[in-house]
Structure 1
Amino acid sequence: MRTGRIRTGGGRGRLIAAAAVCSALLMALHAWLPNGVANLGSLFQTFLPWTGLSVPLLLALATVRRSRLAAVAVLAPAVAWVSLFGGMLTDKRSGTGNFTVVSHNVDEENPDPARTARALAASGADVLALEEMSSKATPAYERELAAGYPYRSDTLGVRLWSKHPLTDVQAVPIMPWTRAVRATVDTPGGPVAVYAAHLASVRVTPAAGFTTAQRNDAAGKLAAAVRAEPLPRVVVMGDFNGTAEDSTLEPVTGLLRSAQREAGAGFGFTWPASFPVVRIDQILVKGVSPVSSWTLPATGSDHLPVAASLRL
């Protein structure tokens, strides 16, 4: 006669427990995962927040197997995930600062750049950083943003629009063509160094795996520019084609603080716009205090815009 007691062992229960321990170790040691083979470490870190799905899956398997050992083991990945991302589950937005920025990869294939420009202008941001600006679409942005943003950089591909005067505008050489720009924004609260950047694209292919070398090199050059920045208040924003958890971007992300982590609600995923699963568009700061961070509604681009309200 079967008693129906909860099992404490069993082969499958031990396998589930082992899988739970492995999941926890991968989360806890993600920064040590090697990139020697197809950059799998960076690929894993890109989707690191989604590793939390292993917890309900393993718990369901432990319940089906009626294994107390497996159920207890699932606590390990649960604790590991909460230690990494528990703070992202709370709403840390706390009002409005005195300097608001928006960054948006507007998508060179955007079918309606004028509508996108109007949506960005409606945000009321002090500074707009726009990436993937095509020469064909540029006149539409210039026309729609002229009234609210009288100051702009004349760089190609990546551009800044500002309500406040821009000085010391210069391209930052992170790639052979212009993919980053730096300017001093003369705000009523004093000067702020603002960088807009679009790091190199990445691809996932069966032959090469996760190709990130050009992006990582660009991140290193951007980091060198930020380290050499003489102004104490710095905002770096743009399309990083990588997440804040990707340790290969640490040369630049390690110098700055994420506005989303400090003052956002949730993960603030930005790509793809139709169903965002990763945050590859960043607003990073130094010498200023993030008050709120959020994503704006879709504009016709394949990215969502990101915004942050800062206290100077």
Structure 2
Amino acid sequence: MGRVKKAAEGGRRWRRLGAWEYATAVAGLLTALLLLFPGLVPNSGPRLGSLLETFLPWLGLVALPLALVALVRRSAVAVGAALVPVVAWTVAYGGAFFADENAAYDLTALQHNVSDGNRDVAGTARALVRERADLVALQEVTDSTREAYRTALAEEYPHHAVVGTVGLWSRHPLVDARPVDIKPQSVPDGWSRGLRATARTPHGEVAVYVAHLPSVRVAATGFTTARRDESARLLAAAIRAEEVERLVLLGDLNSTTEDRGLDPVRSQLHAPEDPFAFSWPASRPLARIDQVLARSARVTQVATLGRTGSDHLPVRARISF
């Protein structure tokens, strides 16, 4: 009877272990699947697909609790389950660590949402000037700060254009500057967050677009992206109609390039291979929602700079024609 009892207890222990292994394996495989194929998550209704894609690189952290389970349970199956999302993350993002930082480039661009609550406009402008970029795009330029930015950037950037709350400063002459209508229908009149201008660079004419798409929020009803997605479609239409072949888009798009809400824009332009260089929030960056994209050109490198008075970090990009 003693042997039978011990065998029964051993069987119960095995069944408990089997359940842990099963749960860990399912979690590991599901995480890997989402890392490699986030489009499997539907985007209707609460926009869960866009929410996942906005923070997708962080999904790899699921491997940590799985590894802890493997350590506690001392299970080879659990170890394998923890490794599966690690391998998937490496496949999805590992190439970013091998990018050539010395790749040739023709222009440098800065993208920065300077924040309408910025209390250090002068310090922000000085930080931007220090980078000596060819192009500088700003969002949330208010009536009270427009002149301050113009004055602070004038010596380094003699050419500029401002439409509504977005502005472009350039070392090279700017012509044909005009607004780009990216206002969603539900937004009141007076909302102006898009411009385009032709920069006459040493490498030829480049159409430069500056945009600030509507904000998104995580609410009880889900991820509120409807206005942003509508604005992205309007921006995509303007880019599609642009006659100048070389084009650079600089903007706070309130989205990562992996978010399918940006697909109308992203499908027309080249994005940097590095998905990191997170720009928001400045205090603890979780995602890069400030973008530099290009047509008939490549964005060869992207990096974030130090904090300014904004809740975003500036993004510097190198562009090769």
Q: Normalization by structure 1: what TM-score?
A: 0.92
SS in 2 for 1:147: coil
Residues in 2 aligned to 1:97 and 1:88: alpha-carbon distance in whole angstroms: 18
Question: Is 1:297 equivalent to 2:310 in the alignment?
Answer: no
Partner of 1:4: none
Question: Is 1:268 equivalent to 2:281 in the alignment?
Answer: no
Indicate the larger mover: 7-16 or 284-293.
7-16
Are the aligned partners of 1:96 and 1:292 in contact in 2 as well (CA < 8 Å)?
A: no
Give the deviation of 1:199 after TM superposition.
Answer: 0.4
SS in 1 for 2:319: strand
Give the deviation of 1:17 after TM superposition.
Answer: 1.1
SS in 2 for 1:135: coil
Indicate the larger mover: 84-93 or 98-107.
84-93
1:234-273 correspondence runs (5 A): 234-259=247-272, 261=273, 267-273=276-282
Partner of 1:135: 143
SS in 2 for 1:160: strand
Partner of 1:150: 158
The one of 205, 209, 215 equivalent to 2:219 is 205
Give the deviation of 1:95 after TM superposition.
Answer: 4.7
Give the deviation of 1:297 after TM superposition.
Answer: 1.0
Amino acid aligned to 2:303: W
> Cα 1:297–1:58, aligned 2, differ >3 Å: closer, same or farther?
same
1:170-198 deviations in whole A, cap 9, x for unaligned?
11100152111111000111101111110
Task: List alignment gaps of at least 5 residues for structure 2.
Answer: 1-5, 7-13, 184-188
Residues in 2 aligned to 1:88 and 1:10: alpha-carbon distance in whole angstroms: 37
Partner of 1:184: 198
Q: Normalization by structure 2: what TM-score?
A: 0.89
Are the aligned partners of 1:182 and 1:196 in contact in 2 as well (CA < 8 Å)?
A: yes
1:94-129 deviations in whole A, cap 9, x for unaligned?
255231111100000000111111111111011111
The one of 224, 229, 237 equivalent to 1:216 is 229
Are the aligned partners of 1:192 and 1:234 in contact in 2 as well (CA < 8 Å)?
A: yes
Give the deviation of 1:293 after TM superposition.
Answer: 2.0
Give the deviation of 1:270 after TM superposition.
Answer: 0.3
Residues in 2 aligned to 1:252 and 1:80: alpha-carbon distance in whole angstroms: 27
Residues in 2 aligned to 1:155 and 1:257: alpha-carbon distance in whole angstroms: 25
Give the deviation of 1:59 after TM superposition.
Answer: 1.8
Amino acid aligned to 1:23: T
Question: Is 1:51 equivalent to 2:59 in the alignment?
Answer: yes
1:158-180 deviations in whole A, cap 9, x for unaligned?
01111111111111100152111
Give the deviation of 1:76 after TM superposition.
Answer: 2.5
Residues in 2 aligned to 1:291 and 1:80: alpha-carbon distance in whole angstroms: 24
1:121-163 deviations in whole A, cap 9, x for unaligned?
1110111110011111111101101111111113120011111
The one of 271, 292, 295 equivalent to 1:286 is 295
Question: Is 1:113 equivalent to 2:127 in the alignment?
Answer: no
SS in 2 for 1:248: helix
Amino acid aligned to 2:83: L
Residues in 2 aligned to 1:295 and 1:97: alpha-carbon distance in whole angstroms: 17
Amino acid aligned to 1:15: A
Question: Is 1:68 equivalent to 2:69 in the alignment?
Answer: no
Give the deviation of 1:35 after TM superposition.
Answer: 2.0
Amino acid aligned to 2:207: A
SS in 2 for 1:70: helix
SS in 2 for 1:273: coil
What fraction of aligned residue pairs are identical, expressed as a percent? 45
Residues in 1 aligned to 2:74 and 2:300: alpha-carbon distance in whole angstroms: 47
Residues in 2 aligned to 1:288 and 1:235: alpha-carbon distance in whole angstroms: 8
Indicate the larger mover: 195-204 or 225-234.
225-234
SS in 1 for 2:149: helix
Pair member with larger Rg = 2
Residues in 2 aligned to 1:283 and 1:276: alpha-carbon distance in whole angstroms: 17
SS in 2 for 1:153: strand
Amino acid aligned to 2:240: R
Give the deviation of 1:290 after TM superposition.
Answer: 2.9
Question: Is 1:311 equivalent to 2:293 in the alignment?
Answer: no
Amino acid aligned to 1:254: S
